[in-house]
Structure 1
Amino acid sequence: MAELLYRLGFGSSRRPWTVIGSWLVVLALAIGGFLAFGGTLTNSITIPGTPTSQVTDRLQEEFPEAANGAGTVVFRTDDGSELTAEQEQQVSDLLTEVEGIEGVDSTLDPFATEEQKANGAQELEDGRAELEDGRQQLQDGQAQLDQAVAQAEDAQAQLDSGVEQLEAGQAQLDEARAQAEAAGSPAAMMAQLEQQQAALDAQRQQLEAAQAQLDEGNAQIESNQATLDSSAAELKDGETELAQGEQMLALTEDYSTVSEDGTTAIGSVTFTAPMLEIDQAVKDEVVATLTDASIGGVEVLPANDLSQAIPSIVGPAEVVGLVIAAVVLFIMLGTFVAAGLPILTALIGVGIGAAGTLAFSGLIDMLSVTPVLGLMLGLAVGIDYALFIINRHRRQLKDGVPLHESIGLAVGTSGNAVVFAGLTVVIALAALNVTGIPFLGLMGTVGAVCVALAVLIAISMLPALLGLAGHRVLSKKERAAADALTAAADSTGKHAAAPHEVEAGQPAARPAPKPMSNLRAVLTSVVSIAVLAVIAIPFFSMRLGLPDGASEPVESASYQAYQAIGESFGEGRNAPLVVTVDLPEGLSDAEITDEQIAVAQQLRDVEDVTAVVPAAVSEDNGMAMFQVIPTEGANAVSTEELVHTLRATDLSDAGVQATDLAVAGSTSGFIDVAEKLAAALPLYLGVVVGLSLIIMIVVFRSLLVPLVATGGFILSAFASMGGVVAIYQWGWLAPIFQVHNPAPILAFLPTILVGVLFGLAMDYQLFVSSGMREAYAHGSPAKVAVQQGLHAGRSVVIAAAIIMISVFGGFVFSESAMIQPIGFGLAFGVLVDAFIVRLLLVPSLMHLFGDAAWWLPKWLDRILPNVDVEGASLERSHGYSDPELAGTEPGAEPDRADTVRV
């Protein structure tokens, strides 16, 4: 590998414009891809397969309109006075104007909503009065009907009595007729009997007519009774509907769109498509229409879901960090040319990485923080990797090595270490895909690509630029000294680096640094571990979450809208939950309403629930949806517990027929994402620690060095997360870091920190321990080799760490609540890892271990690949050795370079 890199560096320096032109073409293609295919970034974090995601998928099937994006807008008076009728009308007109924007489906007028609610309450009150009147009329009608029935019964009794008397008279007449006929009575008597019969017949006709009239009256009474019974049924149905309406009103009593004091109102805007599919221009037009409106005495505040801006990739704070890095480079390298090259190559690398990443944003959903993470890492490692190579190149030039030979050697030695260091970072970031979380895997992939680009540019484009820069990477004084060495070499015909060469087995004349004392090593180790442990204490109280409107900048409309809603309507109004239940088949409309009320009342009785609003029933009557307002905000412990309580609620306990209660919405989504990421962290940490051990064993051919390196990484990772918790969750030093709302830690931050810090920690471990290994391999005693390697590498490691801290630190003051803690965590992690772990703890432990630090079982030594990470074989083949590492004290052990593979 070292020889291959030497040829690459040497060839690039001899053909600089070919290499530079090729990279510029790649940059142009990346920018062209972004301009042609770039899409919209998002701040919405989702993970497939979570309970919220599953419910959301069902909601989109059952309630297609619910899938459309929606945003909130707050209207608040400037002076805290009640909104006037004129202001209310202007607000309504403004929402009507917004509704006319193409891409907007509808708007919700808060005053119209409250008016409808008031009208509904009045209608219920009027309906109750009408029901009372109807009930009284029904009672009066029933009484009259009962009286008519009694009268009819009396008439029937009288009629029945008349019939009986008629029948008795008929019987007497028939008997008299029979007797008369038997006795042969005269015709006069028979005529008299006939007259009596005619009178009876007439009386019978009168009775029959009266019966018919009475039957008609009874029929009318039955008809009237049926009418009264129907009215009674209608009255009962009306009472049921009225009772349901009153229960519904009671449920929504605590849910309003206008505050109780009348100073604040909440409107909403619903789009024609899901939020991710809405063109940013549409959202911008909506926000512009709202914010540009002139309503005297009223603030118009689009909430986070409408006005949350995608953070810019580079801001003023990031530029300041880059300037600090440039200053450090100038101090370290001494010339503007040398200081400018790392920044130039890093910018080209991140330009390709960022533009290439954004080119894919039109094809896949991409978090806004994804390209920023790539930029952050690309800048930091790009500058550092270039620094390592340039520093080695400058040292060689000062030793009189010819220009192109020096470039090739620098790339073959330090560039070889850069390749392995970059590989560790790439592997750590790419391993984020093992978490099974798509957006996190994408972030890791983008970061890995940007780091890989930084490595490729450092070993190809940087040598080309160094070839063009020539000896201008040295100061005038350094160039003069180098020219003198070159002249001396030309006169003797020997290689310029000859004064530093030693024959195999012979000690060098350069005195080695004095090793530290054992007492100092013990104290340094104990104090370092203790400091890291104390810093890590806050980690054990870490809570995970996602930023909401309260995390936005104080001056932003999103933050002010969030605060206004919390103050006027309660914190829970900023964190609504969507609850669904499955309804049984075959229910009538009234039974469905009863189920809605029963479920809503049970939800309302759950602790930490402020209001429950029955929202909708699916078209097939199979699912009912409710909006539940918790007592506190999305990141509150009580809200997290409420989500779990609701999911564990058994509706059958209250005799409700509905089943399968589920919870969705952005708030439960936050909670599910945080829990999913927390569950993935141990797996990822195990993968990273395992990789750390394997890579370090291969690179350093030792068992103890990997254990020390990995243990140090774990300490620095926990310490960095402890620092993040102390500032962003506990609120320590909040004003300094512009933390106005301490909250749970960004859910994916620990995983990102572990991945990135692992790679960077291994970088520093490699550049410090490889020097120790090289000195030990050249014959220095183990404890002396520790100091030699530390002295040779600490200046460049310190400079590299300061550069990384500066670059990462610039993102601490970003406008994005997601980016700020990432920037701080990485900057603080590099600080503790480089200055406490790699420059204090590791050398102390290595000193205490002595020769045992480099022990490796022979069987393992035979099967491990030979990774010449320091490029020692390349140095020997080209007749050059780094004078800072090749020398030993007189009387030291012979050179181990031929006996120990490095």
Structure 2
Amino acid sequence: MATLLYRLGKTAYRRWPVFIAAWLLALIGFGTLASAVSKPMADTFSIPGIPSLKAQDTQKELFPGTANAEDQAAVNLVVSAPQGHTLKEAKYSNAVNQLLADLKDAPQMPKTPLVNPVQASQAQYKAAVDGAMKQGTPRAAAEANAKALLPLSADGRVGTVTWTFDAPSVADVKPATQDDVLARMDKARASGLITEVNGSGMQAMPETGGKSELLGVGVAAIVLVITFGSLVAAGLPIISAFVGVGMGMLGIQLATAFTTIGTTTPTLATMIGLAVGIDYTLFILSRYRTELHDTDDREEAIGRAVGTAGSAVVFAGLTVLIALSALFVVGIPFLTSMGLAAAGTVFFAVLVALTLLPAVLGLLKSKAFGGRVRKQQVHRDEDGKVVNNGVRWARGIGKAPIAVAALVVVVLGGLAVPVKDLHLALPTDSTAAESTTQRKASDLITDAFGAGREAPLLLVVDGRGIEDAKARPAAYGQVVQWAAKQGDVANAQIIGLNQQGTGAQVLITPKSGSDDQATLDLLQNLRDGESTIERQTGTQVGTTGITAIQTDVSDRLTQALPLYLAVVIGLAFILLMLVFRSVLVPLTATLGFLLSILATLGATVLVFQEGHLGLVEGQPIVSFMPIILIGVVFGLAMDYQVFLVTRMREAYVHGASAREAVVDGFRHSARVVSAAAAIMISVFAAFMLQSNSLIQSMGFALAAAVFFDAFVIRMVLIPAVMYLMGDKAWWLPKWLDRILPNVDVEGESLARLQAGTPKHATDAEPPEDEDESTPARHHADDDDEELTRV
């Protein structure tokens, strides 16, 4: 591999116009195609085969024409009079009527007219009570059931108007439609009417660009300037990252023509693409600068850099690709699309680092390290080796490796304790940011009607197994009575019978919200008792509705986590064995990762679920966050492992002792790994500025995980463990050594290929960062100091 990448790097440098033109054509072509066929994005959290969807299939059989709950573009318009007033007052009633008249002309509105909740409540109440009493329901029960579903609050202050957009699914609702509705609501507020809106048809679209990305990139730029001491060199990783992310975003837009892509998918892909895009270019550019001190032939230098550091980039990228693509094995469509989209962006980041960067360096030639802003001072020991902060750090850990390792385990273990209280749920309007209209509408509904109004459960009762048609109504009534007796039920009533009388729909309104544990317990109790009520009534019962569907998705995500973790760790363990030719090094790398993930989840529970530090209001953690976190961070953690420990292995196989190899690895790699981790943290942490709670929690968790893994695990625990293991760290059974192919990440084949090759110059002027009065071997040491100072 090293030889192949070596030749690729030289070719890209030599024929830079061709490679740059190819990338420009790719961007233009992808952009043109994506703009022509792309469709809107939408969040659809459904999984084939879950109990709620099976019940929904039964509902469709009994009630033909029923739409999928997860696809309906439902809208809840909430209108409210100010405190001390009611919607029955002429001023506010007229304002509501005017708003509904305005909304009638909005795009994608249904043909059915919208009705003022005051008039709707009066008509609905009378019809519901009369209909129930005709079926034999006592007046008191009929009135209670009617009041439970009225669109007007008991005090007359808050009302709801619901409709479904004229669109096949949520994904087909146009952003312009949502904007039009919001604009007409703003007009209505001028009369003093309070109006907010939520529902799947008005789901908020999170930011995919703006201040979050710019802030992260700005911090990354500062880190790169400090790392290289050159303005031009600092800009190259950022440009490369933007090209990779651009290709990834265009690929996601193109994919919307063939499948449903979630609204948070581009943001996740942008997070990862920016971070790895900058890091991978940083690694190769750093090695290129080092190689320039061994040869004046820039083409040869970039060939060596791509052949050595590029090999490490390929394997580091492969670990990320494996971790993200492995989301496919859990069988969850929306999660698969998120993983594959992010993996595609990482693939482009690797490709850019291997091909576009050498081409740009071919264009810049001696100006690649122009715009110098600082110089480094080099310190050496008695053997002439560079002594930098990386060396000092490694030697400090080596003085008490047992104590250091124990301290890391205790600290991270303590942070992991809150994981026991982890509460997972999917995002809802009630967990949106307080500043959004979705959250405001949810709060108004909760205050006026109770939290359960937005968390209904639907029992589908199949009576086809009851041969006596006259006995079916009694059976349905028995199911209602059974459901009403469950804990946390505010109301249970039949809301529909099919024409044949073979099926019924029972609406259950909980007392608690959709993300409350009491509602989750209610759903579980209903399902636990299904078999009993089925035997007693001769019916078949299933629970569905959007609340049940989201709960089932959360449960499936939790169940899929062990399988996903096993697949990712298993494949990556094999890959790391190929890289390190060791069993214990991949094992310690993996165990360290697990410790950092547990600590990250614990910290996320403290900050986002329990609301400590006051950053956000406490709320459940998004169900798929742990899987995404594991997928992303495992790949990044192995990046740092590869870039740091391969230099240790390189020193060890060339005769250094196990202890010296650890120090040498930090001498050459500590600075660049620290810079890479700092960039990752800044990019991820910047996304905490967004208003979407999912994006905030993902940004925090990813930033915390990188900090724990890079600076605590890789920079503290791993060297301590490597000291303790000594030569045994590089043990590999002979039979396994014979089976495993030699991938040559250290570039030993290049050393043999270049043996005896003299230095020669291809550029008329020397590199701007060289001092021609210093011997070449001192240049290498100077550069090591510049690249590895922590």
What is the TM-score with the length of structure 1 in the denominator?
0.78
Closer, same or farther: CA 592–403 of 1 in aligned 2, 3 Å: same
Contact 2:129–2:142 (8 Å) recurs in 1: no
Q: Distance in 1 between matches of 2:104 and 2:489?
A: 32
Closer, same or farther: CA 511–36 of 1 in aligned 2, 3 Å: closer
Look up the match of 2:149: 255
Q: Distance in 2 between matches of 1:872 and 1:278?
A: 55
Closer, same or farther: CA 239–307 of 1 in aligned 2, 3 Å: closer
Contact 1:792–1:884 (8 Å) recurs in 2: no
Look up the match of 2:269: 374
Look up the match of 1:635: 515
Closer, same or farther: CA 311–3 of 1 in aligned 2, 3 Å: same
SS in 2 for 1:578: strand
CA apart distance, 1:311: 1.4
Contact 1:103–1:278 (8 Å) recurs in 2: no
SS in 2 for 1:615: strand
2:729 pairs with 1:858: no
What is the TM-score with the length of structure 2 in the denominator?
0.89
SS in 1 for 2:612: coil
Matches within 5 A, 1:784-799: 784-799=660-675
SS in 1 for 2:400: helix
Look up the match of 2:81: 77
Matches within 5 A, 1:154-169: none
CA apart distance, 1:876: 4.4
Contact 1:9–1:463 (8 Å) recurs in 2: yes
What letter is aligned with 1:748? F
Q: Distance in 2 between matches of 1:632 and 1:270?
A: 25
Contact 1:252–1:612 (8 Å) recurs in 2: no
Look up the match of 2:416: 536
Closer, same or farther: CA 397–65 of 1 in aligned 2, 3 Å: same
CA apart distance, 1:542: 1.0
What letter is aligned with 2:408? S
2:404 to 502, 508, 524: 524
Residue by residue, what CA displacement relative to the aligned partner does 1:352-392 show, whole Å, maximum 9, x if unpaired?
A: 11111111213211111222222211111010000001111
Larger Rg: 1
Contact 1:109–1:268 (8 Å) recurs in 2: no
2:693 pairs with 1:817: yes
CA apart distance, 1:104: 1.2
2:95 to 90, 93, 96: 90
Say which is worse superposed, 288-297 or 74-83, in terms of deviation: 288-297
Q: Distance in 1 between matches of 2:779 and 2:225?
A: 25
Closer, same or farther: CA 858–402 of 1 in aligned 2, 3 Å: same
Q: Distance in 1 between matches of 2:233 and 2:427?
A: 41
Residue by residue, what CA displacement relative to the aligned partner does 1:155-179 show, whole Å, maximum 9, x if unpaired?
A: xxxxxxxxxxxxxxxxxxxxxxxxx
2:268 pairs with 1:264: no
Residue by residue, what CA displacement relative to the aligned partner does 1:853-891 show, whole Å, maximum 9, x if unpaired?
A: 11222222222211211213313432599979999xxxx
Contact 1:3–1:874 (8 Å) recurs in 2: yes
Matches within 5 A, 1:586-597: 594-597=474-477
1:424 to 302, 307, 319: 319
Look up the match of 1:717: 597
CA apart distance, 1:649: 2.7
Q: Distance in 2 between matches of 1:563 and 1:476?
A: 55
Matches within 5 A, 1:486-565: 510=385, 515-516=395-396, 519-565=399-445
Matches within 5 A, 1:749-898: 749-879=625-755
Q: Distance in 2 between matches of 1:840 and 1:14?
A: 41
SS in 2 for 1:626: strand
Closer, same or farther: CA 619–372 of 1 in aligned 2, 3 Å: farther
Q: Distance in 2 between matches of 1:13 and 1:278?
A: 46
CA apart distance, 1:518: 5.3
CA apart distance, 1:653: 5.3
Contact 1:16–1:468 (8 Å) recurs in 2: yes
Look up the match of 2:43: 43
Look up the match of 2:489: 609
Contact 1:578–1:664 (8 Å) recurs in 2: yes
2:6 pairs with 1:112: no
Matches within 5 A, 1:111-150: 111-120=118-127
CA apart distance, 1:246: 5.0
SS in 2 for 1:292: helix
Say which is worse superposed, 600-609 or 750-759, in terms of deviation: 600-609
1:698 to 562, 578, 585: 578
> How big is the alpha-carbon RMSD for the aligned residues of Structure 1 and Structure 2?
2.9
Look up the match of 1:348: 243
1:315 to 201, 210, 218: 210
Look up the match of 2:285: 390
Residue by residue, what CA displacement relative to the aligned partner does 1:573-618 show, whole Å, maximum 9, x if unpaired?
A: 1211122111247899986655554433332221100112422122
Look up the match of 1:11: 11
Q: Distance in 1 between matches of 2:730 and 2:281?
A: 29
Look up the match of 2:365: 470
Closer, same or farther: CA 380–4 of 1 in aligned 2, 3 Å: same
SS in 2 for 1:614: strand
Contact 1:846–1:853 (8 Å) recurs in 2: yes
Closer, same or farther: CA 874–83 of 1 in aligned 2, 3 Å: same
Residue by residue, what CA displacement relative to the aligned partner does 1:601-657 show, whole Å, maximum 9, x if unpaired?
A: 332221100112422122333221122111111111110010111123348659974
CA apart distance, 1:466: 1.1
Residue by residue, what CA displacement relative to the aligned partner does 1:449-490 show, whole Å, maximum 9, x if unpaired?
A: 111111111010000011112222335779999xxxxxxxxx
Q: In percent, how many aligned pairs have the same letter?
A: 37
Contact 1:407–1:467 (8 Å) recurs in 2: no
Q: Distance in 1 between matches of 2:236 and 2:211?
A: 22
Q: Distance in 2 between matches of 1:724 and 1:58?
A: 39
Matches within 5 A, 1:432-447: 432-447=327-342
Look up the match of 1:667: 547
Contact 1:538–1:723 (8 Å) recurs in 2: yes
Closer, same or farther: CA 811–518 of 1 in aligned 2, 3 Å: closer
What letter is aligned with 1:698? L
Closer, same or farther: CA 60–316 of 1 in aligned 2, 3 Å: farther
Matches within 5 A, 1:569-580: 569-580=449-460
Contact 1:307–1:557 (8 Å) recurs in 2: no
Q: Distance in 2 between matches of 1:767 and 1:626?
A: 59
What letter is aligned with 2:299? H
Q: Distance in 2 between matches of 1:712 and 1:651?
A: 46
SS in 1 for 2:26: helix
Contact 2:290–2:780 (8 Å) recurs in 1: no
SS in 2 for 1:616: strand
Structure 1: runs of 5 or more not aligned:
125-237, 482-506, 888-902
Q: Distance in 2 between matches of 1:688 and 1:694?
A: 10
Look up the match of 2:57: 57
Q: Distance in 2 between matches of 1:364 and 1:13?
A: 38
What letter is aligned with 2:262? L
2:232 pairs with 1:337: yes
What letter is aligned with 1:844? A
Q: Distance in 2 between matches of 1:303 and 1:534?
A: 40
1:708 to 588, 593, 597: 588
CA apart distance, 1:780: 1.2
What letter is aligned with 2:569? V
SS in 2 for 1:41: coil
Contact 2:475–2:539 (8 Å) recurs in 1: no
What letter is aligned with 1:608? D
What letter is aligned with 2:315? F
CA apart distance, 1:243: 4.2
